[in-house]
Chain A
Amino acid sequence: MRLSFVRPVAQQLFRELALTALLLLGVSFVVFLVLYFSPGDPFSLLLEGQMVTAETQQQLRMALGVPEHWYSQYLFWLGNMVQGNFGTSIRSGLPVLPEIIRVGINTLYLTVGSMVVTLLIAVPIALSPAQRGETPLNWPFTMFAYLVSALPVFWLGYVFIYIFIHQFKLFPILYGYSSERELTPLFFLLPILVLGVGNGTISEVVRHLRDEMSRVLQEDYVRTARAKGASAWRHAFKEGFLIPITEIVAAKIPFILGGAVVVEQVFNWPGMGRLAWQAALDRDYPVIMGIAVVAALFVRFGTLTQRVVYVMVNPRASQERER
């Protein structure tokens, strides 16, 4: 490893971390504002079925330690959050952060797994014409990429269940509850497959990768390399493959998290999406605030990785190409 890598990477990392901190502050503020201006009172859930007076409501707020003014409410919440205390769920009374981490890991498996599936499908489709030019063979594959990106993901989930479980009995319906226990890990594959195929990003990955690759293949240094008889492929790898892949993956993380909300419902996957849905129904605002912040962290982490990879590949770029 050359030392010249280290400084720009460290600089970049520092910059991005600072930006992430600022952005999370902004995220928390936006979330807080939305909830603050919402017409309902999240505490009414607790008082369900009781004769509520302003007094009992006040009592409840006191019991929960809710300050009076909006800015002190925000600062109060923010201060706790910085210390890792996201509050407790109104619905279950459990601390929010451990709960989010617990289900967040499941969501991580699902999203990372499905990203791999997406790339396994998209990369060959994208690269085959970049390497050999358009052939009649890869056109149907391109169309396939477009088609699957246009499917409603929950419907795809039902169709997969119908085909693979109902008709062919290939997978046990639920993890942990099959008579053939050896097969149960296979069940994990189905939701990952569904989200990987149906998250709507395959066509965009194909498009982005193909454009970038063909652009890079036209660049002088690749041409020179090719003329010298070296593999153009190897020279184009960093800029034409690695960078666009990390770019598109980072950019699509929010999308895939969104798709996960739906897939988790269909496949009973105990993840963050289901928690978010339940919290939306219950107006369980500590939970939904926590999820928004953690999801933003996910997203920022993706961007951070992308920036670091970019700088590592091309140290000079840390000053140039800003997004």
Chain B
Amino acid sequence: MRRLVTTFFIVSLAVFVLLLPPAKAAPKNDGFPQGGSLNYGEYGRPATLDPITSNDMISLRISELIFNGLVGIDEKQEIVPDLAERWDISPDNLTYTFYLRHDVTWHPKEGEEPRPFTADDVIFTYNIMKHPQTITPLKVRYEFIDSVVKLDDYTVQFNLKRPILNGLAKFTFKIIPQHGPENKEFLTREDPFVHHPIGTGPYMLKNVTADGEVILVANENYYRGRPHLDKFVARPFADQNIMSQALMFNAIDMIVLVNPRDIPQIQGDKRLVLQPYNALSYSFFGYNVRNPLLADKRVRQAITYAVNRQEMLDSFFNGQGTIISGPFAPGSWAYNLDVEPLPFDPQKAVSLLEEAGFSKGDDGIMQKDGKKLSLILKVPIEKESEGVKRVVLGFQNYLNKIGVEIKGEFKEWQAWKEDVFLKHDFDVVFASWVFDDSADITSLFHSSEIGPWRNNFGGYSNPEIDSLIVESKLTLDHEKRRTIYRKLHALLAEECPYTFLWTLTNYAAYHHKLRHVAIHPYKFFSFSDRWYIPEQEQR
């Protein structure tokens, strides 16, 4: 599932977060030993290391070690103070005021004293992000901010264009120092800062070796107390099988995402711990309803009935996941448990197709008015994306049985994105969305989101869905919104703009010497300052 690694499809999912009263950061004197180092394997190399220009999961994980946001997320998925120790939100939800910590310093530049973190850095980060010449995937996510004002050195105020659902969670973006980038106007990938960033986080970048290893060392001045581990090393791999071997032969201590095929072998190894964590993403087949054949809801339903999702999950992913029926995370407040996923029923699929006017042709393929039900499935090529390959092949196989021809087209990554998001030249795609910590499904299904590089790539448009989405945005009452979301869920499950497949359980594997390991779903290292290695096991 390298889908998650290369893509940065972050869409919002509504994970409602209660606003807790700001708590004080706990001191680090938790009695656990310091020292030891952690080498972890990554499949691929990060392009850049700063939080603004990077757009791959590897960089995202590394910037989690180096940087902090105004607010953070704890192990229970709740918003907690980070660089801001407390905040005020105006009653109309249009003004967010953050009161910053006074005791935070930036990682020292070579030969310099560490400089303090202030409101100027926050404003600097925001301005860099918004600058038209900064190339960043973040820009569109923060278009709701109207302006930012410095009230004093340790107070900043964000003015919003409109109230935002769960707006606080948006302020987890990482802050970069004003004295970091050479260009103070905008940030490009040619700025030295993107390769040698400094931040406020628990680890400081020491260097990147010629082999592409990223070496990080403990920040002695970290405001929550020095992290337990001395050293973090990200080691890039070009072959996943070799990466697993490296773990089993002690060459590395951790893999952040274990390939499903390696799970049995790692399970059998007593020195290794296999830790599940929620992927916070779901996979789906998305349809291009611009194709008249797919514009018929019954055809999309028939396809969904024809696919045995449970069998695929069991055979290809060792059953490590949950089948879903709608576009929300199972277990979240928005997910409607009353909506059952459509069962595997090829009979029903065939009768739905017949109802829609299709009949089996001489070649065994369903057709209507001389038009064959033959669809092009576009999948991005990724080396060793075995899981993806298997799902696609399984999909072809199931649909072949009910007389739907699926022509798989594997495209190289950039070309795939152009075909899907720009040219809309596809019938079906297989992809995954990663949820982020806030907001809504507007960008996926609202008709205003149809267009080049917009997320509603299938061109799905339904007035009922549109009005429900708008309604949900206008209400700030949690219960009301929940009712609307449950309705949306039921409607989308019925309409099948996607065939919703599953959310997978991800596994991290690591050497058992590593203790107190808590993992954030996609940022992964959010809690790593509390990981430790017992003294006798520090080599």
Contact = CB atoms under 8 A, between A and B. Distances in A.
Do A and B come into direct contact in the complex, CB within 8 Å?
Answer: yes
A120 interface: no
Contacts of A48: 8, 55, 137, 417
Contacts of A102: 210
Interface in A59-107: 59-60, 63, 88-94, 102
Contacts of A52: 422, 452-453
B297 interface: no
Contacts of A63: 133, 188
Interface stretch (A127-135, A174-182, A192-200, A217-225): A174-182
A88 B190 contact: yes
A56 B55 contact: no
A267 B245 CA distance: 11
Contacts of B189: 88-93
A158 interface: yes
A266 B246 CA distance: 12
A9 interface: no
Contacts of B245: 161, 165-166, 173
B137 A49 contact: yes
A92 B133 contact: no
A30 interface: no
Contacts of A158: 241
Nearest to A93: B189
Interface in B169-224: 188-191, 194-195, 210-212
Interface stretch (B231-239, B299-307, B460-468): B231-239
Interface stretch (A39-47, A295-303, A309-317): A39-47
Given A40-B414, A49-B8, A274 B453 contact: no
B139 interface: yes
A138 interface: no
B210 A270 contact: yes
B137 A274 contact: no
Nearest to B46: A92
B413 A270 contact: no
A267 B236 CA distance: 12
B238 A264 contact: yes
Contacts of B191: 93
A172 B239 contact: no
A154 B239 CA distance: 11
B212 A270 contact: yes
A4 interface: no
Interface residues of A, number: 47
A283 interface: yes
B339 interface: no
B242 A49 contact: no
B246 A56 contact: no
Interface string A12-46: 00000000000000000000000000011000111
Interface string B138-155: 011000000000000000
B414 A44 contact: yes
A267 to B, nearest CB: 7
Interface stretch (B95-103, B119-127, B248-256, B322-330): B248-256
Contact of A282 (B249, B414, B422, B454): B414
Given A92-B47, A92-B189, A268-B238, A56 B132 contact: yes
Interface in B501-539: 539
B249 A266 contact: no
Contact of B252 (A40, A47, A49, A177): A177
Contacts of A90: 189
Q: Which of B137, B211, B422 has the most CB of A within 10 A?
A: B211
A102 B212 CA distance: 11
A281 B411 CA distance: 10
Contacts of A177: 39, 235, 246, 250-252
B48 interface: yes
A50 interface: yes
A268 B132 contact: no
Given A266-B242, A268-B238, A93 B414 contact: no
B142 to A, nearest CB: 12
Nearest to B247: A173
B211 A270 contact: yes
A265 interface: yes
B314 interface: no
A51 B453 contact: yes
A308 to B, nearest CB: 32
A278 B133 CA distance: 25
Contacts of B8: 48-49
B319 to A, nearest CB: 28
A106 to B, nearest CB: 8
B238 A265 contact: yes
B139 to A, nearest CB: 6
Interface in B375-432: 383, 412-415, 417-418, 422
A177 B249 CA distance: 10
Contacts of B140: 49-51
Contacts of A176: 211
B250 A274 contact: no
A34 to B, nearest CB: 15
B341 to A, nearest CB: 30
B135 interface: yes
B412 A281 contact: yes
B246 A174 contact: yes
A160 to B, nearest CB: 12
Contact of B132 (A59, A166, A172, A280): A59
B244 to A, nearest CB: 10
A238 B124 CA distance: 70
Interface string A270-297: 1000100110111100000000000000
A40 B137 contact: no
Given A50-B453, A63-B188, A172-B251, A161 B242 contact: yes
A8 to B, nearest CB: 41
Interface in B231-281: 235-239, 241-242, 245-246, 249-252
A173 to B, nearest CB: 5
B195 A94 contact: yes
Contact of B415 (A40, A92, A178, A179): A40
A204 B8 CA distance: 47
A9 B354 CA distance: 81
Contacts of A265: 238-239, 383
A47 B211 contact: no
A278 to B, nearest CB: 8
26 contacts: A44-B417, A44-B422, A48-B55, A49-B8, A49-B140, A49-B453, A50-B135, A50-B453, A51-B452, A52-B453, A56-B132, A59-B132, A90-B189, A91-B189, A92-B189, A93-B48, A93-B53, A93-B189, A173-B245, A174-B246, A174-B251, A265-B383, A266-B239, A268-B237, A270-B210, A283-B412
Interface of B: 8, 39, 45, 47-48, 53, 55, 132-133, 135, 137, 139-140, 188-191, 194-195, 210-212, 235-239, 241-242, 245-246, 249-252, 383, 412-415, 417-418, 422, 451-454, 539
The 7 closest A-B pairs by CB, nearest first: A93-B189, A177-B251, A49-B137, A174-B251, A93-B190, A173-B249, A265-B238
Given A174-B252, A177-B252, A281-B414, 10 more contacts: A93-B188, A93-B191, A94-B195, A161-B245, A165-B249, A166-B245, A172-B249, A173-B246, A266-B238, A282-B413
